[in-house]
Amino acid sequence: MRRLNNDKLCPVLNAKIMAQSIEEVPVIIQLKEINKNLIRNVTNLSSKVKADLPLIGGIAGDMSTDIIYRLSTNPEVEYISFDSNVYALLDVASPTMEAYFPHEQGYDGEGITVAVIDTGVAPHDDLIKPSNRIIDFMDFVNNKEKPYDDNGHGTHVAGIIAGNGYSSRGKYVGIAPKSNILAIKALDENGGGSTSDIIAALSYCIEMKDKYNIKIINLSLGTPANHSPDKDPLVKAVEKCVEAGIIVVTAAGNSGPSAKTILSPGISKEVITVGAVDDKRTIDPSDDTIAPFSSRGPTPDGTQKPDLVAPGVNINSISHSKLDSYTSLSGTSMATPLVSGSLALLLNKHGNLSPKEFKNMLIKACVPLKEDKYSQGHGMLNLRLLFNDSNTDKNLPVKNNLLGLSDDSFETIIMLLVVLFLLDSRI
């Protein structure tokens, strides 16, 4: 029986080799250093080279298990992983609500670009009229040039972030209705794709960062966390984006309610990982719970995740279908763009902070629910708290209001107004 170098092979490949399986499988090979001769040799050993992945110092391609086993003994090879399927994170759907408290303060996401790596984005009127805010489209699946979405998931996500309500005369408006969308199709018509395509899309975001003013990447997708974060190729890629100054917001996953179900790349400490809340369609937040499908922590290395939660049940947004302008969906996929859109607004207010500083601001603006920390993280994001100037320092006093009321009374009135607004926005 073969003696395996377990530290260099992911569990999937270990299992195949231990079973003496002789087959070709898609893999991602990470090298310790970029070595042209080694890259050439590895390329020659692959029956099909899919992509060069310089972002993580890797190569993606198909290889036989025999060759994979031999490569695992090469000291210049850092890690070999199965090029696993990544999928859109979707659950059951029905009618919804939306909340946009910061708009009254003049924040609308104008000038901020959010990259949506998903199933594509359809040119819905809420994104292209009166002016086109899909500023670019890149297709890693079918290599088409014009924006489209043959699944609908990515369009729904983009609408939660940036829909301006054009088709509904302002009734259904996204969180940051003047922000721009960089639409990247890396998932197919079934909502599935490969890790290597997601990494290529992340590389494209870094490449286009300055050209399109990309500040946020929305990843409403994930794959099972079969690797430790320091070896996970998707984690390495998103952390390169954070190093480049881009905020990465990713879904926790829809594998709950069991513990230790956070998906990659949500296991990364550097990204903002979002779980989903079920508000039970009531005004009183005291009965809000984490949605049963929302993935729970901790991560494989014991990190508390998700970082926070947002509404993720029955969220209404634009549709890719020509028959219906709007539709409602549920999942951590829907909670994630609510946070991405909120960050676009926050970037209007604080444009020069680091991804870590923005993440800390979000955490400070969370309201804890009656749930454990591995279900909710720091709690549910509250936009009123996020855009309260005292959020940057909770020891600062709340400013006096024009009505001369006590701070508590004034905040109560504001909350009632917000509740009335939300009720009016429901389907």
Known catalytic residues are 118, 153, 333
Structure tokens at 44: 């020659």
CA distance 47 to 62: 6
Letter string b/e over residues 87-97, b meaning 16 or more CB atoms within 10 A of that residue's CB: bbbbbebeebb
Let me know the angle formed at the C-alpha of 238 by 47 and 224, rounded to the nearest 5 degrees: 65
Asked if the peptide bond before residue 355 counts as cis, ω within 30 degrees of 0, the response is no
User: Which residue bears the tokens 């099909």?
Assistant: 48
CA distance 293 to 110: 33
8 Å CB contact between 202 and 136: no
8 Å CB contact between 89 and 119: no
CA distance 5 to 13: 11
CA distance 319 to 155: 6
Structure tokens at 198: 């997601």
CA distance 398 to 185: 44
Structure tokens at 369: 């629910």
CA distance 280 to 293: 14
Q: Which of 58, 64, 50 is nearest to 29 (CA)?
A: 58
User: Which residue bears the tokens 């947002």?
Assistant: 310
Compute the half-sphere exposure of residue 388: CA atoms within 13 Å on the CB side of its CA. 22
**Among positive and negative, which fits the CA dihedral 79, 85, 86, 91?**
negative
Let me know the angle formed at the C-alpha of 319 by 171 and 180, rounded to the nearest 5 degrees: 75
